[in-house]
């Protein structure tokens, strides 16, 4: 049924339908309404779950680690500094092969303090062994949560999933969303049956010391599993379609007018909606432009990206994050996808925009298309304020 909902409510309602046995969160900034709504549902008796309020994000992550280790489906949400305080545990969750699901309400990181949106938080944890999916709109936000549990808990995968959505733009935005019936979710997502769990009757250790004789194989195993994730996501998407009727194709990327395009922007998250609008406007004027939306950032679908962009002459990558001292994170991946290949775009230019909540307007996107020329450029910051760059310390 279509409802008009705020992003945080959408997540809470979707998570409720996934029936987690344990929810844990630190309730203060940079938290969102997500866990507030869930806490309300538990308190009102609408959700049979244990809500564990903790004293920090480090503890929140530790609680859901423990819960999934004990064989219970779990959920947590955070962003920004909260995610970073979780970071130590985040790597442990993946290393122990525990399918925790976390909503990341993407926000900038300190210092300086910012409560506003960009992708620096989740992107910085790209090497942690978590699957990362990025949503464009609130429908995807809901649907990706259902899929996240299916993917992460698959016995051939057993990895955590971070569902990423733009802070404020999506978490605090309201729009119509088709929320499915509980029966459909139950059919799509069976109860969690752990492949292994902490059980006094059959004791096991998780994440103990691995000396040099063992450690490398644990990392190799995750790396190999990510290949299986690339194969599984399209299958789960297919089942999702037959169950709910919405078609995310392979759900690794979305191609929007890419086939005959001369210029394509690659991006992740809600800005893809703004880009689609510009693509339509420029297409009406006869310009062959398109968008490649990356949904799965981890695992990164190199082969799929190669296939989509190999015949596109000019590609611009729009990052809402930086890797200070190196190329922008998404741009690095796109360039890597073509390294040593015979077919390749002539130009892969890289742009950075939207840091710390700087608004990305229709004009920002048009500027990227117009600066995407035969001359490759790297790390071009869009919408900078030159007057602020002139200031020197002590003057």
Phi/psi for 179 (5° steps) reads -90, 125
Q: In whole angstroms, how close is the CB of 103 to other proteins at the nearest point?
A: 18
* Region near other proteins per CB under 8 A, out of 83-91, 122-130, 173-181, 326-334: 173-181
55-63, 164-172, 188-196, 247-255 -> range binding other proteins (CB under 8 A):
164-172
Asked whether position 247 contacts other proteins by CB under 8 A, the answer is no
Q: Does 312 interact with other proteins (rule: CB under 8 A)?
A: no
> Residue 294 pairs with which residues in a beta bridge?
253
Q: Does 4 bind other proteins (CB under 8 A)?
A: yes
46: CB partners within 8 A, 6+ apart: 16
Tell me 326's DSSP state: S
In whole angstroms, how close is the CB of 356 to other proteins at the nearest point? 13
Q: Which of residues 343-372 bind other proteins (CB under 8 A)?
A: 359-362, 364
Whole-number Cα distances in Å, 116 to 33, 108, 120: 15, 6, 11
Query: Pairing mode, if any, of strands 131-134 and 22-25?
Result: unpaired
Minimum separation from the CB atom of position 57 to other proteins (A): 19
Residues 220, 250: Cα–Cα separation, whole Å: 25
- Considering only 53, 172, 226, 323, the residue that binds other proteins (CB under 8 A) is 172
Which pair of structure tokens corresponds to residue 370?
């117009």
Window 125-154: contact mask with other proteins (x via CB under 8 A)? ------------x-----------------
Angle at which helices 33-43 and 7-17 cross, to 10°: 50
**Number of amino acids touching other proteins (CB under 8 A):** 25
The Cα 305–Cα 100 span in angstroms is 27
Query: How do strand 314-319 and strand 347-352 relate by DSSP bridges?
Result: parallel
Q: Which is nearer to other proteins, 40 or 332 (CB)?
A: 40
What residue ranges bind other proteins (CB under 8 A)?
2, 4, 6, 29, 115, 137, 166, 168-169, 172-176, 270-271, 273-274, 276-277, 359-362, 364
């Amino acid at each position: 049924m279509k409802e008009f909902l705020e992003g945080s409510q959408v997540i809470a309602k979707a998570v409720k339908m996934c029936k987690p046995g344990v929810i844990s969160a630190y309730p203060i900034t940079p938290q969102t309404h997500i866990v507030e709504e869930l806490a309300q549902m538990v308190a009102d008796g609408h959700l049979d779950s244990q809500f564990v309020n903790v004293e920090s994000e480090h503890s929140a992550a530790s609680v859901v680690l423990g819960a999934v280790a004990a064989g219970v489906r779990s959920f947590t949400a955070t962003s920004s500094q909260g995610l970073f305080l979780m970071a130590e545990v985040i790597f442990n969750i993946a290393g122990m092969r525990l399918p925790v699901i976390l909503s990341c309400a993407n926000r900038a990181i300190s210092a300086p303090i910012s409560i506003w949106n960009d992708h620096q938080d989740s992107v910085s944890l790209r090497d942690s062994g978590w699957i990362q999916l990025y949503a464009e709109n609130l429908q995807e936000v809901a649907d990706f949560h259902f899929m996240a549990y299916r993917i992460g808990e698959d016995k051939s995968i057993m990895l955590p999933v971070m569902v990423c959505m733009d802070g404020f733009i999506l978490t605090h935005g309201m729009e119509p969303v088709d929320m499915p019936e509980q029966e459909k979710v139950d059919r799509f997502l069976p109860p969690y049956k752990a492949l292994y769990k902490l059980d006094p009757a059959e004791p096991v250790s998780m994440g103990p010391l691995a000396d040099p004789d063992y450690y490398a194989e644990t990392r190799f195993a995750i790396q190999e599993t990510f290949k299986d994730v690339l194969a599984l996501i399209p299958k789960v998407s297919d089942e999702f379609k037959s169950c709910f009727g919405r078609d995310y194709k392979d759900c690794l990327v979305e191609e929007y007018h890419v086939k005959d395009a001369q210029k394509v922007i690659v991006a992740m998250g809600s800005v893809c909606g703004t880009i689609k609008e510009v693509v339509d406007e420029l297409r009406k004027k006869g310009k062959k432009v398109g968008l490649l939306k990356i949904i799965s950032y981890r695992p990164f679908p190199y082969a799929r990206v190669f296939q989509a962009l190999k015949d596109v002459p000019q590609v611009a990558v729009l990052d809402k994050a930086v890797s200070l001292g190196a190329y922008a994170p998404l741009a690095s991946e796109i360039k890597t996808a073509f390294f040593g290949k015979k077919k390749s775009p002539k130009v892969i230019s890289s742009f950075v925009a939207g840091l710390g909540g700087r608004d990305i307007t229709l004009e920002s996107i048009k500027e990227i298309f117009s600066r995407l020329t035969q001359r490759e450029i790297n790390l071009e910051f869009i919408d900078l304020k030159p007057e602020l760059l002139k200031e020197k310390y002590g003057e």
